[in-house]
């Protein structure tokens, strides 16, 4: 990554900029070597809507783990139809999935954190490394209030876990209400599982609806303690 781009990033006060202003800066600075990660949750569809309104050819990728709910594919198609865009889709390597499932079974992730991390590594982390290869920056839909593991995440940062590229989190300080207000106001397609009590949606066997009073990420890997509830995509090195 060019030193001038890093210097420009470090000298900019992103915390006082709007999400759209941050995305405008990111695209002007790094396109075409910047890509947006999307799992098609509420936050991600907001960022997609903002991106395509700034630059129609903005790059957006998704990790198709092979275990996603049909509702996730439905919103992906709806976004493609509405905006006339395409997504870069990354699948896990077939031989790695075959070896893992042959050795430990299709539901290995329920047995231990180590097994769950292995599954996330095969289905998410390795494809992510391919998606970010050659990139100087990437964009996410992270929000601080989503989880205890994200409360100190800045709007723009150097992502050491991904080789020191820039990580842009334009709606990091948004609330749930802000997110849904944007979706409704802009008529953005969203995952219909959100209407069934799923505020956070990942792979089908690792996601459930939350109960009244539970936090937003309670339905993800619900058998684990909150401090472990990251697949690795957004862990700090």
Residues with catalytic roles: 231
To the nearest 10 degrees (0 to 180), the angle between helices 19-30 and 3-10 is 160
Q: At 167, list the tokens.
A: 């990580």
CA atoms within 13 A on the CB side of 222: 17
**Phi then psi for 233, rounded to 5 degrees?**
-60, -35
* Coil, strand or helix at 37: strand
The sheet with strand 88-90 has its strands ordered as: 88-90, 59-63, 34-37, 137-139, 165-168, 156-159
Q: Rounded distance, CA 208 to CA 196, Å?
A: 10
Q: Which of 141, 177, 146 is nearest to 50 (CA)?
A: 141
CA distances from 5 to 1, 26, 168, 189 (A): 7, 10, 13, 34
Q: Rounded distance, CA 15 to CA 60, Å?
A: 24
Pair 156, 14: CB distance under 8 Å: yes
Q: Which of 218, 221, 219, 62 is nearest to 148 (CA)?
A: 218
Q: At 102, list the tokens.
A: 């042959």
């Amino acid at each position: 990554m060019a030193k001038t781009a890093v210097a420009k990033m470090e000298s900019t006060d992103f915390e006082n900029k709007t999400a759209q202003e941050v995305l405008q800066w990111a695209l002007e600075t790094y396109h075409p070597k910047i890509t947006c990660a999307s799992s098609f949750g509420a936050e991600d569809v907001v960022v997609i809507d903002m991106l395509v309104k700034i630059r129609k050819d903005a790059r957006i990728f998704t990790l198709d783990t092979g275990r996603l709910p049909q509702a996730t594919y439905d919103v992906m198609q709806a976004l493609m139809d509405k905006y006339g865009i395409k997504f870069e889709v990354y699948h896990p390597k077939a031989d790695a999935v075959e070896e893992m499932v042959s050795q430990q079974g299709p539901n290995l992730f329920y047995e231990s954190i180590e097994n769950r991390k292995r599954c996330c590594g095969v289905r998410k982390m390795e494809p992510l490394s391919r998606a970010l290869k050659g990139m100087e920056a990437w964009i996410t839909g992270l929000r601080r209030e989503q989880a205890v593991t994200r409360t100190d995440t800045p709007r723009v940062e150097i992502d050491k876990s991904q080789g020191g590229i820039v990580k842009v989190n334009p709606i990091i300080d948004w609330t749930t209400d802000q997110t849904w207000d944007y979706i409704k106001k802009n008529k953005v397609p969203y995952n219909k599982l959100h209407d069934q009590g799923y505020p956070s949606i990942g792979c089908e066997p690792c996601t459930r609806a939350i109960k009244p009073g539970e936090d937003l990420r309670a339905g993800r890997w619900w058998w684990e303690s909150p401090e472990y509830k990251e697949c690795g995509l957004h862990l700090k090195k």
